[in-house]
Amino acid sequence: MITEQLLEAAKEKIGARSYYEFAKKTGISEQKLSSLRKGRLQADEYTCFKLAEILERSPSSVIAEIRSETEKDEDKRLYFKRFFSIAVLWITLGLLLPVFSTNYGTAEAGIKNAESRAVTSHNAPIADAGTPTPACAY
Protein backbone atom coordinates (compact mmCIF):
# COMPACT_ATOMS: atom_id res chain seq x y z
CA MET A 1 0.00 0.00 0.00
CA ILE A 2 1.42 3.35 -1.08
CA THR A 3 0.38 5.31 2.01
CA GLU A 4 2.02 2.77 4.30
CA GLN A 5 5.22 2.85 2.21
CA LEU A 6 5.33 6.65 2.35
CA LEU A 7 4.76 6.63 6.11
CA GLU A 8 7.51 4.07 6.61
CA ALA A 9 9.94 6.04 4.41
CA ALA A 10 9.16 9.25 6.32
CA LYS A 11 9.57 7.46 9.65
CA GLU A 12 13.01 6.22 8.60
CA LYS A 13 14.00 9.60 7.20
CA ILE A 14 13.41 11.42 10.49
CA GLY A 15 14.99 8.61 12.50
CA ALA A 16 11.87 7.59 14.42
CA ARG A 17 12.14 4.07 15.84
CA SER A 18 8.39 3.71 16.37
CA TYR A 19 5.14 5.22 15.17
CA TYR A 20 4.73 6.68 18.66
CA GLU A 21 7.97 8.63 18.14
CA PHE A 22 6.93 9.47 14.57
CA ALA A 23 3.61 10.86 15.87
CA LYS A 24 5.42 13.01 18.44
CA LYS A 25 7.84 14.42 15.84
CA THR A 26 5.23 15.12 13.16
CA GLY A 27 2.14 16.11 15.10
CA ILE A 28 0.09 13.38 13.40
CA SER A 29 -1.77 11.34 16.03
CA GLU A 30 -0.96 7.69 16.61
CA GLN A 31 -4.60 6.78 15.96
CA LYS A 32 -4.52 8.54 12.60
CA LEU A 33 -1.23 6.88 11.66
CA SER A 34 -2.66 3.47 12.56
CA SER A 35 -5.79 4.07 10.46
CA LEU A 36 -3.70 5.32 7.52
CA ARG A 37 -1.41 2.30 7.67
CA LYS A 38 -4.36 -0.12 7.76
CA GLY A 39 -6.14 1.65 4.89
CA ARG A 40 -9.15 2.66 6.99
CA LEU A 41 -8.47 6.36 6.45
CA GLN A 42 -7.26 8.44 3.52
CA ALA A 43 -4.45 10.90 4.07
CA ASP A 44 -5.69 14.48 4.35
CA GLU A 45 -3.85 17.48 2.91
CA TYR A 46 -1.92 18.16 6.13
CA THR A 47 -0.61 14.60 6.23
CA CYS A 48 0.33 14.71 2.53
CA PHE A 49 2.14 18.02 2.95
CA LYS A 50 3.93 16.76 6.07
CA LEU A 51 5.07 13.60 4.24
CA ALA A 52 6.20 15.68 1.26
CA GLU A 53 8.20 17.97 3.53
CA ILE A 54 9.92 15.06 5.28
CA LEU A 55 10.61 13.15 2.06
CA GLU A 56 11.73 16.34 0.26
CA ARG A 57 9.16 15.93 -2.50
CA SER A 58 6.48 18.16 -3.93
CA PRO A 59 3.14 17.94 -2.10
CA SER A 60 1.32 17.46 -5.40
CA SER A 61 3.37 14.34 -6.22
CA VAL A 62 2.62 12.83 -2.79
CA ILE A 63 -1.10 13.62 -3.12
CA ALA A 64 -1.20 12.20 -6.66
CA GLU A 65 0.66 9.05 -5.62
CA ILE A 66 -1.73 8.38 -2.72
CA ARG A 67 -4.87 9.26 -4.71
CA SER A 68 -3.76 7.06 -7.62
CA GLU A 69 -4.35 4.15 -5.25
CA THR A 70 -7.22 5.32 -3.04
CA GLU A 71 -9.51 7.26 -5.42
CA LYS A 72 -12.82 5.45 -6.01
CA ASP A 73 -13.66 7.12 -9.35
CA GLU A 74 -11.76 5.32 -12.14
CA ASP A 75 -11.29 8.45 -14.29
CA LYS A 76 -9.89 10.41 -11.36
CA ARG A 77 -7.64 7.52 -10.34
CA LEU A 78 -6.21 7.35 -13.88
CA TYR A 79 -5.72 11.12 -13.85
CA PHE A 80 -3.71 10.91 -10.63
CA LYS A 81 -1.66 8.00 -12.02
CA ARG A 82 -0.80 10.05 -15.12
CA PHE A 83 0.03 13.10 -13.01
CA PHE A 84 2.26 11.05 -10.72
CA SER A 85 4.01 9.43 -13.72
CA ILE A 86 4.74 12.85 -15.20
CA ALA A 87 6.01 14.12 -11.83
CA VAL A 88 8.36 11.12 -11.56
CA LEU A 89 9.61 11.79 -15.10
CA TRP A 90 10.41 15.43 -14.27
CA ILE A 91 12.15 14.44 -11.04
CA THR A 92 14.21 11.85 -12.92
CA LEU A 93 15.19 14.35 -15.59
CA GLY A 94 16.10 16.85 -12.90
CA LEU A 95 18.39 14.30 -11.28
CA LEU A 96 20.06 13.51 -14.61
CA LEU A 97 20.65 17.14 -15.55
CA PRO A 98 23.86 17.53 -13.50
CA VAL A 99 25.28 14.42 -15.20
CA PHE A 100 24.76 15.91 -18.64
CA SER A 101 25.96 19.36 -17.63
CA THR A 102 29.21 17.82 -16.35
CA ASN A 103 29.73 16.06 -19.66
CA TYR A 104 28.98 19.30 -21.47
CA GLY A 105 31.77 21.01 -19.55
CA THR A 106 34.20 18.24 -20.52
CA ALA A 107 33.15 18.42 -24.16
CA GLU A 108 33.49 22.20 -24.14
CA ALA A 109 37.02 21.91 -22.74
CA GLY A 110 37.88 19.43 -25.50
CA ILE A 111 36.59 21.80 -28.18
CA LYS A 112 38.61 24.70 -26.78
CA ASN A 113 41.71 22.49 -26.67
CA ALA A 114 41.20 21.46 -30.31
CA GLU A 115 40.66 25.09 -31.33
CA SER A 116 43.87 26.20 -29.63
CA ARG A 117 45.86 23.46 -31.43
CA ALA A 118 44.37 24.52 -34.76
CA VAL A 119 45.32 28.16 -34.19
CA THR A 120 48.93 27.31 -33.29
CA SER A 121 49.34 25.03 -36.32
CA HIS A 122 48.13 27.81 -38.66
CA ASN A 123 50.54 30.30 -37.12
CA ALA A 124 53.58 28.07 -37.65
CA PRO A 125 56.23 29.61 -39.94
CA ILE A 126 56.33 28.34 -43.53
CA ALA A 127 59.77 26.86 -44.32
CA ASP A 128 59.64 27.03 -48.10
CA ALA A 129 56.75 28.49 -50.07
CA GLY A 130 57.47 26.23 -53.05
CA THR A 131 57.55 22.95 -51.12
CA PRO A 132 54.15 21.41 -50.39
CA THR A 133 53.44 20.74 -46.73
CA PRO A 134 52.39 17.21 -45.72
CA ALA A 135 48.78 18.35 -45.35
CA CYS A 136 48.75 19.50 -49.00
CA ALA A 137 50.76 16.63 -50.47
CA TYR A 138 47.75 14.55 -51.45
Structural domains for the chain: 2-96 (1.10.260)
Q: Are 70 and 3 in contact (CB under 8 A)?
A: yes
- Note the pLDDT tens digit of each residue in 14-42: 999 999 999 999 999 999 999 999 989 99
Q: Enter the pTM of the model.
A: 0.59
pLDDT higher than threshold 50 for residue 136: no
Cα separation, 57 vs 41, whole angstroms? 22
- Note the pLDDT tens digit of each residue in 66-119: 888 877 888 877 877 887 776 565 555 565 666 555 555 555 555 555 555 554
Q: Where residue 64 falls among pLDDT bands split at 50, 70, 90?
A: confident
> What's the confidence (pLDDT) of residue 138?
40
- Note the pLDDT tens digit of each residue in 43-58: 999 999 999 999 999 8
> What's the confidence (pLDDT) of residue 33?
95
Cα separation, 51 vs 89, whole angstroms? 20
Q: Are 51 and 10 in contact (CB under 8 A)?
A: yes
With 0-12 / 13-18 / 19 or more C-beta atoms within 10 angstroms meaning exposed / middle / buried, residue 43 is buried
